[in-house]
Amino acid sequence: MIRTRLTFWNGVVLCLVLLCLGTVLFVTVRTIRYDAVDADLRGRVGFVRSLWSEIREHRFRKPPDRPLKIEIDGDAKLERHIALELKTAHPMIFSVRGRDLVDPPGRPLDPDGLFDAASGKQVLSSVEIDGLRVRVLSIPMLNGRSVVAVAQVAAPLDDLDDETAALGRSLLLMLPLAILVTSVIGAWLTTTMMRPIRVLTSAAEQIEPTNLATRLPVNGHDEFEGLALTFNGMLERLDHSFQRLDSAFEAQRRFTADVSHELKSPLTAIKARVGVAMGDSLIGDTTREHFAAIGAVADNMSSIVQDLLLLALSDEGRLNLQMAQVPLLSCVLEAFDLVKGLEERVIDVRVPARLTMWADYGLLRRMLVNLLDNAAKHTSSGQTIRIEARRRRHFLSIRVVDSGEGIAPENLPFVFERMVRFDTSLSRQAAGAGLGLAIVKSIVDAHKGTVAIESQLGTGTSVTVTLPREAPSSILGDS
């Protein structure tokens, strides 16, 4: 979910930001504190230099250092700290000759810094004395241009180190709590910001294809308002388009039904006239052949008109099913007699003799005729057409399988549409208006069933119809 991802990445970013801020704060405070120590040392050096002439007159002499012994029960570190504070409280000045220490006797705080300062450098260093860190500044003391002495001033760092370590521990302890608090706040903010999307999603789920008049709520003055307005505009355009399509489809349906009804009478008259004319003994053989051809065309047109009328009634929901207990095998055998060309194919029937179902006998037979006729049109002479049926709990499955040329995969989604014919070697030779499978689907839909087709080029086609064995109440009500 977007909300989960946003919350996760907000937490990651906040964690990194807090970590960076904590690191910067720790380094900044530590640097400032240590710079303050260095500045204090430089200030003390300035004081030593201001008294340098007086110190030089005393020829660096001072009482020899006496060891200072301090005892505090139970705290050795505190003893060392106090001793170090006393030792570094005053500047230490050493006279030098070259790199050799001359006067006064005693050990410098930083021997390396002392010798470096004797060469004219000013040295800042950190050393360890009695297990405690000390910051030492060593500077050369000049007589003219010659270095005659080195002064060392120092400050203990143990208190500062302890404070810095305490600051680091505090930041580390506060970091998880800060991350937790900011993550909770981030999750709450994310949820709050995503609320308009949930409202829009909930409203969009209420929109049905049959009811495009519903609109999304428009709230606020932000990007979500623009999204809702854009979506509502699209819905309005779709609603108008579907209304126009519905009007056009309704007009087409009425036209088809009206034309079908109007054509029935003249076709019936043509067939009657042809029958009378062919019974006249005075006409020649050539004329008789012409009348026979006219009769065949009239029969074909009448079949197409009946198909169109059936589809029109199906569209209007007025098929008027006559439901009854149908012996399926008898219906299949009648369908064989009505399909032309089956005698040239190998027919494999696998329908149990006692298998029955609730259906409209005439429409069920029409469905089987169309399926078998479609299989015969796409199967060459001598190939096999198989029809099988089996029980499946409350449903009955009827399957028609041929071993013909098959249907291309890109054409399968369109096989149940009206007036659709695919250009194949056998279909070019077979007559038909492309209504057969469309009628099959209408009959199956009227019986509250399903139809599916599978096909592979060069292998054959399989059409499976699944119908309820018992008549649903909705079907009985329609009848």
In a domain, 188, yes or no: no
Same domain, 155 and 235: no
Read off the pLDDT band of 478 (50, 70, 90).
Answer: very low
Residue reference for tokens 């077979």: 430
Indicate if 402 and 381 belong to the same structural domain: yes
Query: How confident is the model at residue 474, as a pLDDT?
Result: 45
Distance CA 429, CA 381 (A): 13
370 lies in the same domain as 305: no
**pLDDT reported for residue 475:** 47
Q: In whole angstroms, how far apart are CA 189 and each of 3, 12, 20, 221, 226? A: 10, 15, 23, 18, 21
Q: How far apart are CA 28 and CA 19, in angstroms?
A: 14
- Asked if residue 182 belongs to a domain, the reply is no
Tokens 């002064």 belong to: 151
pTM for the predicted model, two decimal places: 0.49
Q: Which CATH number belongs to the domain containing residue 33 in this structure?
A: 3.30.450
Q: Which residue, 149, 165, 181, sits at the end of a domain?
A: 165
Co-location of 404 and 472 in the same domain: yes
**CA 186-190-195 angle, 5° bins:** 150
Asked if pLDDT for residue 181 goes beyond 70, the answer is yes
The pLDDT tens digits for 373-393 are 988 888 888 899 999 999 888
| CATH number of the domain that residue 266 is part of | 1.10.287.130
Domain membership flag for residue 330: yes
Give the pLDDT score at 479.
40
Top-confidence range, 55-59, 120-124, 242-246, 431-435: 120-124
Are 304 and 348 members of one domain?
no
- In this structure, are 301 and 332 located in the same domain? no
Which residues, in sequence order, are CB contacts of 387 under 8 Å at separation 6+?
Answer: 332, 347, 348, 349, 350, 351, 368, 371, 372, 398, 399, 400, 401
CA 374 to chain centre: 43
Contact between residue 90 and residue 48 where contact means Cβ atoms under 8 Å apart: no
* Number of domains comprising the chain: 3
| pLDDT attached to residue 57 | 54
In percent, how much of the chain has pLDDT > 90?
A: 14
CATH code of residue 391 = 3.30.565.10
pLDDT band at 97 (very low <50, low <70, confident <90, very high): low
Which contiguous run of DSSP H or E holds residue 271? helix 223-278
Sign of the alpha-carbon dihedral angle for 411, 415, 417, 418: positive
Strands (E), 157-215: none
Residues 346 and 461 in one domain: yes
Average pLDDT over residues 213-232: 75
End-of-domain residue from the set 286, 314, 342: 314
Last residue of a domain, one of 258, 288, 314: 314
User: Is there a single domain that holds both residue 273 and residue 130?
Assistant: no
pLDDT at 385: 93
Question: Could you read off the pLDDT of 280-331 as tens digits, one per residue?
Answer: 777 777 887 887 888 878 877 777 777 777 777 777 777 788 889 999 999 9
The torsion angle over the Cα atoms of residues 250, 255, 256 and 260, rounded to 10 degrees, is: 150
- Does position 428 have pLDDT exceeding 80, yes or no? no
* pLDDT tens column, 431-440: 556 788 888 9
**What average pLDDT does the structure give for the chain?**
79
On whether both 332 and 398 belong to a single domain, the answer is: yes
Host domain of residue 233: 223-314
* Cα–Cα distance measured from residue 225 to residue 233, given in angstroms and rounded to the nearest whole number: 12
Q: Comparing 65-74, 285-294, 351-360, which segment has the lowest mean pLDDT?
A: 65-74
Mean pLDDT, residues 470-476 taken together: 55
Q: Supply angle C-alpha 262, 264, 266, rounded to 5.
A: 85
